[in-house]
Amino acid sequence: MKKHKKYRFYFLLAFITLAANVIVVVYATDTNLNLPQTLVRIEVFDGTESYFITKLMDVPAGYDVSNGTYLGWCIDTRVEMGRSPAQHLVKLYSSLNPPGDLANESWDMVNYILNHKRGNATDIQQAIWYFINLDTAYTPTSEVAWEIINDALANGEGYVPSYGEKIAVICYPQYVLPSEVQVSIIEVTNTVIPDFPSPQIMLITLSAILLLITVVHYRGILGK
């Protein structure tokens, strides 16, 4: 009986240590994109795979976005976005850290939708408008859009894109009166890799060894 208690103690200790490491790992993955603090220019085209094809320009080197084209979506039906060759000045924000006036929007749902696509661009855009439309509440007309919405409602709460998944990056316009520009988003691949300090790696390794020893001993007890 004493041996059983001792091995149960080893197993519990290994489990707690391993769980603590997993919590640290999950926390480490919840990091933000490295986006420029300066204004950049965008030029938009009508898309087929997405609502917009958005071209970024004036992006300095060394960031998680670069000059080039991205799949883009609308979150604002108040005004019309001037298409190419018109260009617009915007500030880029990660949807994981949005500007104050957009902080209470359903970015978890939008990010879930971008990583669990179905249907065509119209279906996806209508689903996005259902969750974020800076004009008024939007009612989709597409059956597939409602399937996307219901899937997001069931599974998207608190969703945070992990490494390799898509993050919605907000293209927040700098208004130049008298014309305004839509607020839009682009899809950016999450390239953030968790930074594990050496003590963390040591703890993970030690936890794995301890767990392995405990399992071997526990199986030995059951086999007797």
Q: pLDDT tens digits for 3-40?
A: 555 555 555 555 555 555 544 444 434 457 999 999 99
Is residue 3 situated within a structural domain? Answer: no
Is residue 84 situated within a structural domain? Answer: yes
Strand ranges in the chain using DSSP code E only, listed in sequence order: 40-46, 52-57, 68-74, 88-94, 166-173, 184-189
Write the single-letter amino acid at 212. Answer: L
CA angle in degrees (0–180, nearest 5) for 200-206-211? 125
Q: What does the buried/exposed string (b/e) look like for 119-155 if buried means 16 or more CB atoms within 10 Å of the residue's CB?
A: bebebbbbbbbbbbbbeeebebebebbbebbebbeee
Is residue 25 situated within a structural domain? Answer: no
Is residue 18 situated within a structural domain? Answer: no
Query: CB-based contacts of 23: which residues, under 8 Å, 6+ apart?
Result: none
User: How much is the average pLDDT of 203-217?
Assistant: 63
**pLDDT tens digits for range 180-191:** 789 999 999 998
Domain that holds residue 154: 31-189
- Structural domain count, the chain: 1
**pLDDT tens digits for range 98-116:** 999 999 999 999 999 999 9
Is residue 82 situated within a structural domain? Answer: yes
Is residue 218 situated within a structural domain? Answer: no
Strand ranges in 60-179 using DSSP code E only, listed in sequence order: 68-74, 88-94, 166-173
| DSSP symbol at 59 | P
**pLDDT tens digits for range 53-100:** 999 999 999 999 999 999 999 999 988 899 999 999 999 999 999 999
Is residue 142 situated within a structural domain? Answer: yes
Is residue 210 situated within a structural domain? Answer: no
